């Protein structure tokens, strides 16, 4: 039996389609974060980017997201290794750290709903920035963000 591509290829050797398929659809990278100016400590919120569909946890305009949200971070093998705010469950981060994908990851389970069924996604846990108000009132202490 052939090993799955994510077990045999480095992040830099993956095709664009393989790279994109690593996203588990949790939506956590689309949460706003606050950073302490003195300590650089990052504080997650439950406020999601206005482009995130809170039901599907997918970007509603993925191809144009950088135009509509200029500070949207485009992940790359380099950023997957260096962004301290990437969730510990993120496949890009896990593979950059030579860790396996969890059983609930859609590539492993074969089911795109598995990330939601496992309670990993933002479904039911986040609010859109369109309705949130001040970010300071939305700080969360979630272990998986």
Reported in sequence order, the residue ranges of the chain that DSSP labels E, i.e. its strands, are 31-35, 42-48, 52-53, 58-59, 127-128
**Residue in the structure block whose two tokens are 């074969």:** 110
CA trace torsion 4, 9, 12, 13 (10° rounding): -100
Secondary structure of residue 29 in the 3-state scheme:
helix
Phi and psi (nearest 5°) for 78? -70, -45
Mean pLDDT of the 102-106 span = 98
Instruction: Render pLDDT for 48-86 as a digit per residue (tens, 0 to 9).
Output: 999 999 999 999 999 999 999 999 998 999 999 999 899
Nearest to 25 by CA among 50, 45, 53, 4: 53
Tell me what pLDDT residue 1 has. Answer: 74
Percent of the chain with pLDDT over 90: 93
Tell me what pLDDT residue 86 has. Answer: 92
Instruction: Render pLDDT for 5-39 as a digit per residue (tens, 0 to 9).
Output: 999 999 999 999 999 999 999 999 999 999 999 99
- Please count the residues of the chain: 145
Tell me what pLDDT residue 145 has. Answer: 85
Tell me what pLDDT residue 144 has. Answer: 84
Distances (CA, A) of 74 to 20, 45, 79: 11, 20, 8
Q: Which residues contact 82 (CB under 8 A, 6 or more apart)?
A: none
Question: What residues does each domain of the chain span?
Answer: 14-138
Secondary structure of residue 7 in the 3-state scheme:
helix
How are beta strands 52-53 and 58-59 bridged, if at all? antiparallel
Percent helix, percent strand, percent coil in the chain, to nearest 5: 35, 15, 50
- Per the model's pLDDT, the better-predicted residue between 37 and 145 turns out to be 37
Nearest to 115 by CA among 10, 22, 49, 33: 22
Mean pLDDT of the 104-118 span = 97
């Amino acid at each position: 039996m052939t090993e799955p591509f994510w077990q045999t290829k480095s992040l830099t050797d993956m095709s664009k389609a393989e790279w994109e398929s690593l996203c588990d659809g949790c939506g956590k990278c689309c949460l706003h974060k606050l950073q302490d100016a003195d300590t650089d400590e990052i504080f997650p919120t439950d406020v999601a980017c206005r482009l995130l569909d809170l039901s599907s946890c997918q970007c509603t305009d993925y191809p144009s997201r950088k135009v509509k949200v200029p500070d949207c971070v485009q992940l790359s093998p380099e950023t997957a290794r260096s962004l301290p705010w990437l969730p510990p469950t993120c496949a890009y981060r896990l593979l950059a750290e030579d860790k396996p994908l969890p059983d609930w990851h859609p590539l492993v389970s074969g089911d795109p709903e598995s990330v939601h069924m496992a309670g990993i996604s933002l479904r039911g846990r986040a609010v859109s920035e369109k309705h949130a108000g001040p970010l300071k009132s939305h700080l969360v202490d979630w272990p998986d963000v």
